């Protein structure tokens, strides 16, 4: 025993030579998993109280353990805790520190538990906390969108398909499309939370434990809905981090689409919005430049988050039951994607209220793009012309208007009647931008009345969260 160089390791008993220095560094996770210290301490306190409840620890021992852990929590928070790579991970660092502080009683904490169920518990507690933070950031962004949509409910802009001017829409309607994407993201996140919020504690290494533990008690102490149901699955399941990463990838995919539009709209060619200077940066060579770096960076971060989803899926692929050390590799992708998602949401919550719509430019663009051509076709259909014939008539009218360098609404009645004798002088109401958007007056349509209804509905939805 005296020759045992691993004597300091919590698992040193069966070893006869010290761990290779490289292997020690290679296998250690404390450099990144120390981030889990709050959850690790909370999990240990719940476990100790359970051991007291079932008679494995006495009151004095439990008190010693709990106050020792609280002291360690303080030391970590104040930056006075010394993390050791030789102690491998957050779990063994804290446990060793506890034994240093309170002596032999500290060694009783790990009764009926393994690092395998401990780390699974820590990860679920961490992910649950972060889900709640991310959920409120999404709600804040959605409510910011509602405010902006309300302000821009009547603002006319061109709607695009294939990035070609298609039909006039309202800017409020466009913003509400973003809102809907976020609404689905929120739903996916809440759905993921249900499967996160289960307690693996008590699964021990893989098979459960021979001590008379009370898993319902630890589950409820930690705010979990229930214990997980199979010990092998409990220590090896990382579906919940994959679900979080899938949610995050889709959220960022949506945000990359918002970003792409903001980038286009701030360009001189569109010039639809103004992004205040504080959200832009300049160029070191071209003095005239004002670059929309914030949306560009959010667009770029999408790749990184989706990369983490792929890492996690491949991490879990082909792993046999139950716990494998591979699982230690789940942490860095999850931590990074959580940080990235929170930053991107914060960027948008700050930036969106600061953008201003250049309403005149939006209107001009809608006017120039023959955006009301469909309205002329619909007008003809209402006068009894078959849709395909109407389509043909309008196509010819647009070609003529392009030749004349005019909008459809700027052609004379005689010129229009040259294409179809079903056209009468009421046609012009249908060719205005307002006429066009107001006509799309049904649930889900772009008419300002409908946009306001959608906003009111959404506000009620957010209030109920």
Neighbour tally for 135: CB within 10 Å: 16
Angstrom distance (rounded) from CA 457 to CA 452: 9
Q: Which is nearer to ligand ARG, 314 or 456 (CB)?
A: 314
Shortest reach from residue 331's CB to ligand ARG, in Å: 6
Number of residues that bind ligand ARG (CB under 6 A): 10
Q: Which is nearer to ligand ARG, 235 or 394 (CB)?
A: 235
Residue 116 near ligand ARG by CB under 6 A: yes
Q: Which of residues 325, 388, 442, 460 is near ligand ARG by CB under 6 A?
A: 325
Residues 6+ apart with CB under 8 A from 138: 182, 185, 186, 189, 251, 345
- Contacts with ligand ARG in 330-349 (CB under 6 A)? none
Of 2, 162, 284, 442, which one is the catalytic site residue?
162
Angstrom distance (rounded) from CA 257 to CA 251: 10
Shortest reach from residue 26's CB to ligand ARG, in Å: 13
Shortest reach from residue 314's CB to ligand ARG, in Å: 17
Applying CB under 6 A, the span of 113-121, 217-225, 391-399, 439-447 interacting with ligand ARG comes to 113-121
Q: Which residue has the tokens 């933070």?
A: 133
State the alpha helices, DSSP H only, in 352-386: 359-368, 373-382
Neighbour tally for 48: CB within 10 Å: 26
Q: At what angle do helices 448-463 and 115-151 cross, to 10 degrees?
A: 150
Shortest reach from residue 220's CB to ligand ARG, in Å: 24
Closest CA to 184 of 107, 242, 254: 254
Residue 302 near ligand ARG by CB under 6 A: no
Q: Which of residues 9, 39, 115, 358 is near ligand ARG by CB under 6 A?
A: 115
Q: Which is nearer to ligand ARG, 115 or 124 (CB)?
A: 115
- What is the x/- site pattern for ligand ARG, positions 403-442, by CB under 6 A? ----------------------------------------
Residues 6+ apart with CB under 8 A from 131: 189, 192, 193, 196, 244
Applying CB under 6 A, the span of 112-120, 245-253, 265-273, 285-293 interacting with ligand ARG comes to 112-120
Of 67, 267, 283, 356, which one is the catalytic site residue?
283
- Length of the chain, please? 465
DSSP type of residue 442: S
For the purposes of burial, counting CB atoms within 10 Å of the CB of 74, is it exposed (0-12), middle (13-18) or buried (19 or more)?
exposed
Closest CA to 419 of 450, 385, 444, 442: 385
Q: Which is nearer to ligand ARG, 61 or 89 (CB)?
A: 89
Residue 93 near ligand ARG by CB under 6 A: no
Q: Which is nearer to ligand ARG, 73 or 331 (CB)?
A: 331
Applying CB under 6 A, the span of 127-135, 301-309, 319-327, 360-368 interacting with ligand ARG comes to 319-327
- What is the x/- site pattern for ligand ARG, positions 150-189, by CB under 6 A? ----------------------------------------
Applying CB under 6 A, the span of 224-232, 250-258, 324-332, 343-351 interacting with ligand ARG comes to 324-332
Residues 6+ apart with CB under 8 A from 371: 158, 159, 165, 166, 167, 168, 433, 436
Q: Which of residues 142, 328, 397, 420 is near ligand ARG by CB under 6 A?
A: 328
Q: Spell out the long-range contacts of 452-457 with Cβ–Cβ below 8 A and sequence spacing 24 or more.
A: 452/150, 452/153, 452/172, 454/176, 455/146, 455/149, 455/150, 455/153, 455/172, 455/176
Is residue 178 within a helix (H) or strand (E), and if so which, with residue range? helix 171-196
Q: Where are the beta strands (DSSP E) in 162-320?
A: 164-170, 198-199, 226-227, 273-274
283 given a catalytic annotation: yes
Q: Which of residues 327, 340, 397, 436 is near ligand ARG by CB under 6 A?
A: 327
- Contacts with ligand ARG in 11-40 (CB under 6 A)? 29, 33
47 given a catalytic annotation: no
Q: Which of residues 97, 119, 251, 309 is near ligand ARG by CB under 6 A?
A: 119
Q: Which is nearer to ligand ARG, 47 or 173 (CB)?
A: 47
Catalytic positions are 162, 283
For ligand ARG, the binding residues (CB under 6 A) are: 29, 33, 89, 115-116, 119, 323, 325, 327-328
């Amino acid at each position: 025993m005296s020759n045992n160089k691993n004597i300091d390791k919590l698992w040193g008993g069966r070893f006869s030579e010290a761990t290779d220095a490289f292997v020690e560094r290679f296998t250690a996770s404390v450099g990144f998993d120390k981030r889990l210290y709050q959850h690790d301490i909370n999990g240990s306190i719940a476990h100790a109280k359970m051991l007291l409840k079932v008679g494995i620890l006495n009151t004095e021992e439990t008190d010693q353990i709990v106050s020792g852990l609280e002291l360690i929590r303080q030391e970590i928070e104040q930056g006075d805790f010394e993390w050791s790579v030789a102690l491998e991970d957050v779990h063994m660092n804290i446990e060793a520190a506890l034994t240093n502080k309170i002596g032999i009683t500290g060694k009783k904490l790990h009764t009926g538990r393994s690092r395998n169920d401990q780390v699974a518990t820590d990860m679920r507690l961490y992910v649950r906390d972060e889900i709640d933070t991310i959920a409120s950031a999404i709600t804040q962004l959605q409510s910011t969108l509602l405010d902006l949509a309300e302000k821009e409910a009547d603002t006319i802009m061109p709607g695009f398909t294939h990035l070609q001017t298609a039909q006039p829409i309202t800017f409020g309607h466009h913003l509400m499309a973003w809102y809907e994407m976020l609404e689905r993201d929120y739903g996916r996140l809440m759905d993921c939370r249900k499967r996160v919020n289960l307690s693996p504690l008590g699964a021990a290494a893989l098979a459960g434990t021979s001590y008379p533990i009370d898993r319902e008690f630890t589950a409820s102490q930690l705010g979990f809905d229930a214990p997980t149901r199979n010990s092998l699955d409990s220590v090896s399941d990382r579906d919940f981090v994959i679900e979080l990463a899938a949610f995050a990838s889709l959220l960022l995919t949506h945000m990359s689409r918002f970003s792409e539009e903001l980038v286009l709209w701030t360009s001189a060619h569109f010039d639809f919005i103004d992004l205040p200077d504080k959200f832009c940066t300049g160029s070191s060579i071209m003095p005239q430049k004002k670059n929309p770096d914030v949306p560009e960076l959010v667009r770029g971060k999408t790749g990184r988050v989706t990369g983490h989803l792929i890492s996690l899926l491949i991490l879990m692929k082909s792993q046999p039951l139950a716990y494998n050390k591979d699982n230690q590799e789940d942490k860095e992708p999850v931590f990074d994607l959580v940080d990235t998602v929170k930053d991107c949401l914060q960027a948008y919550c700050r930036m969106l209220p600061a953008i201003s719509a250049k309403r005149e430019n939006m209107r001009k663009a809608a006017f120039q793009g023959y955006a009301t051509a469909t309205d002329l076709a619909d007008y003809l259909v209402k006068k009894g012309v078959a849709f395909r014939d109407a389509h043909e008539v309008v196509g010819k009218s647009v070609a003529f208007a392009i030749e004349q360098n005019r909008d459809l609404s700027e052609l004379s009645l005689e010129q229009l009647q040259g294409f179809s004798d079903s056209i009468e002088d009421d046609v012009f109401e249908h060719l205005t931008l307002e006429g066009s958007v107001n006509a799309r007056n049904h649930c889900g349509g772009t008419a300002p009345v409908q946009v306001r209804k959608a906003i009111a509905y959404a506000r009620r939805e957010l209030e109920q969260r």
